[in-house]
Amino acid sequence: MSQQLAPINQPGSFDLMLRQADILAQSRIIPAAYRNRSADVVAAGLAGQAFGWDVMTSLRNYHVIEGTASLGAWYRTLGEAKEFIVERPELA
Report yes or no on 54 lying in a domain: yes
Report yes or no on 33 lying in a domain: yes
User: Which residues 6+ apart lie within 8 Å of 52 measured at CB?
Assistant: none
pLDDT tens, residue by residue, 39-89: 999 999 888 888 888 889 889 888 877 877 777 766 656 555 555 455 555
Domain that holds residue 64: 13-91
Is the pLDDT score of 28 beyond 60? yes
**Number of structural domains, the chain?**
1
Report yes or no on 69 lying in a domain: yes
Q: How far is CA 45 from CA 24, 32, 65, 68, 89, in A?
A: 11, 16, 17, 14, 34
How many other CB atoms are found less than 10 A from the CB of residue 91?
A: 8
Report yes or no on 18 lying in a domain: yes
Query: Average pLDDT in the 1-22 region?
Result: 71
- Beta strand 62-65 pairing with 68-71: antiparallel
Is the Cβ–Cβ distance between 55 and 24 less than 8 Å?
A: yes
